[in-house]
Structure 1
């Protein structure tokens, strides 16, 4: 029972990363096996991830092409 309570308290986290095989930018929720959605550019992916984080009281991180986090923001109600 304790593990369920811990998971409930965790805020969702989304990442924007480059999918080098498909040459697209993906938005995915941390812990998910697949991308939520793919975009042609990082510029298109950022507002989508930002909206998900806002709506779900979560956080999003923007990764550069090198994979390192370059920016991000968290939201709380």
Structure 2
């Protein structure tokens, strides 16, 4: 009785890869269905955000610039 180990290993490889492929395919369909169900019964609320445009206040900008300059100078003083 001769057993061809190469042929057996190829069969097991295709069986394993087939099972993984089938599982991932089923998982994709289930997740898409779950997403469709969730968006149907729990729709996302349309939030109107009161986003203000970038700050045009020069005093705030100058304070930020001063803080960055102070941090850089402090870092330089710590080095040497």
Tell me which protein shows more helix as a share of its residues: 2
Looking at CA atoms only, which structure, 1 or 2, has the larger radius of gyration? 2
Taking structure 2 as the reference length, the TM-score comes to 0.24
